Amino acid sequence: MLRAGLNVALRWFRTGPDVVRTTRDAAPIARTYERLRSRVFLSIILGYGTYYTCRVNLGAIKQPLLDAGLFDARELGWIGSALLVGYAAGKLVNGFLADRANIRRFISAGLLASAFVNLVLGGGVPFSIFFVAWGLNGWFQSMGGAPSVVAMSNWFSWSERGTRYGIWSVSHSLGEGFTFLITSALVARFGWRWGFWGPGLLCVLGALVLSRTLADRPETLGLPPVADYRGDHPPVHEGPDTVGHMQIEVLRMPAIWLLGIASAANYVTRYALSSWGQLYLQKAKGYSLEEAGSLLAAYAVAAFVGSFVSGWISDRFFSANRYGLSLLSGLLQSAALLALWLIVPGHVLLDLAAFVLLGLTMGLLVAFLGGLMAVDLVPHRVAGAAAGAIGMFSYIGAALQDTVSGHLIESGRSSTAGVETYAFDGAFSFWTGATLVATLLVGLVWMWKLRIGRVSA
């Protein structure tokens, strides 16, 4: 019975068969293609941003949960890690599945399932159930990222991909910024439950919209492959191999593993900011919940800008070489983290400047290390496998961060005259060290690429 149900589900999610083209007239093909390309691209930007509201919302709820005595910092660290472990495993599996999937159904179903988890958790559950449910939410969340990359690879050709990927990468900043502002306001006014219910209801609506606006591969709609339509064939050899064989080859590429480890280190810092940034600002610098949310929203806006221009700058001025920009961003990010750590409380403008620099550099690094560099290396039919493999590494790093950060922050807690204080020195040392490791690994990957002659100096 279980196997039969699984087979039915897999058939429902599977991409449709290629449809014989009814016309070869360029004009109607172009009209249909451009209409669908615009619709798909807008859908994955807004859709993936909506995914984030049901993932990073926990960061805006941690302080109320601590104050209510529902969980302590260690338990919140384990809960955060549960999501990220589920997300890491799902990134790899769902990335491989996405290469064969009907993207419209795949992305919509994941968003709806994530919404359901959030609506349930808003009712209040014990730690053990919360831990398992948030881990499942991580798996459902993984049905958004790699499938969106597959959608881009299906509908946009090689020379367009860097710019489009950079623009799409702003979606996580949109989602984070919206969550930091709106979820913080909902929680401040109505209590922690609405930190789950608000995003959950939004994601239900988003899933319904995406089920109507996304599209399967162009070939399933009687359109030519995007490389033929654009006359823009990639330098990566596509070959006659099956999707399965090409996916195995992706896992054998040393560059994928090196980029994956670099991305894992970068995601330690990324998720440290989204998971613990508001708590740090409240406990160490004395900001209110809404003030802390506003600073994190500024960080998200800056990350939006960094992601938006990343692909365009590298395509336009660096001949699609992402490595030099990544090295510079890593060094600037390390400096911004140190500044945020060392700035004494009461200097709002300096804190804001540090967050803006963090956002700009993080936006670029997430776009490059989080997938674009890997997608550049593989045939477009296995973009999901490349993105999924990088995503698995990335979120193993993020999961490690949440558990380690939770323990470091909890160990720095003290109570004087009934007033609790937290020392974040250990956490910031961990986060800054991870950024420096990511920067070093980018340099090593670049040296390896230069040695094999695939990137010009």
51, 141 in Cβ contact below 8 A? yes
Residue 456 has a pLDDT of 41
Residue 80 has a pLDDT of 83
Query: Could you give the 3-state DSSP secondary structure of residue 263?
Result: helix
Most confident of 197-206, 384-393, 397-406, 426-435: 197-206
Helices 323-342, 425-452: crossing angle, 10 deg rounding? 170
pLDDT tens digits, one per residue of 60-70: 788 888 888 88
| Domains in the chain: ranges and CATH | 32-232+242-452 (1.20.1250.20)
354, 336 in Cβ contact below 8 A? yes
DSSP letter for 182, please: I
Residue 91 has a pLDDT of 82
Q: What is the mean pLDDT of the chain?
A: 84
Q: Find, among 374, 155, 165, the residue nearest to 249 by Cα.
A: 374
pLDDT tens digits, one per residue of 224-272: 888 888 877 766 555 556 777 777 877 777 778 888 899 999 999 988 8
Q: Lowest-confidence range among 122-136, 171-185, 301-315, 405-419?
A: 405-419
Residue 420 has a pLDDT of 67
Residue 344 has a pLDDT of 87
216, 104 in Cβ contact below 8 A? yes
The mean pLDDT of 175-184, rounded to a whole number, is 81
Residue whose entry in the numeric block shows the structure tokens 């070869």: 24
The Cα 249–Cα 265 span in angstroms is 24
Most confident of 167-171, 208-212, 249-253: 208-212
* Torsion on CA atoms 98, 100, 105, 110, rounded to nearest 10: -30
pLDDT tens digits, one per residue of 37-56: 999 999 999 999 999 999 88
Residue 452 has a pLDDT of 66
Residue 244 has a pLDDT of 73
Query: Could you give the 3-state DSSP secondary structure of residue 342?
Result: helix
273, 380 in Cβ contact below 8 A? no
The Cα 122–Cα 379 span in angstroms is 42
Residue 278 has a pLDDT of 84
With bands split at pLDDT 50, 70 and 90, how would you rate the model's confidence at 359?
very high
Tell me the percentage of the chain whose pLDDT exceeds 90: 28
With bands split at pLDDT 50, 70 and 90, how would you rate the model's confidence at 417?
low
pTM score: 0.72
Residue 433 has a pLDDT of 93
pLDDT tens digits, one per residue of 287-297: 887 788 888 88
Q: How far is CA 157 from CA 163, 237, 292, 337, in A?
A: 11, 14, 41, 37
The Cα 247–Cα 384 span in angstroms is 9
Residue 320 has a pLDDT of 65
Residue 353: is its pLDDT beyond 70?
yes
Cross-strand pairs, 413 = 422
Q: Lowest-confidence range among 14-18, 109-113, 190-194?
A: 14-18
Helices H / strands E in the chain, number of each: 20, 2
DSSP letter for 7, please: H
Q: How far is CA 31 from CA 34, 36, 37, 359, 381, in A?
A: 5, 9, 10, 38, 24
412, 94 in Cβ contact below 8 A? no
Residue 162: is its pLDDT beyond 80?
no
pLDDT tens digits, one per residue of 83-117: 878 888 888 888 888 888 899 999 999 999 999 99
The Cα 222–Cα 237 span in angstroms is 24
Query: Could you give the 3-state DSSP secondary structure of residue 289?
Result: helix
Residue 454: is its pLDDT beyond 70?
no
More confident residue, 417 or 409: 409
Residue 448 has a pLDDT of 73
Residue 423: is its pLDDT beyond 80?
no
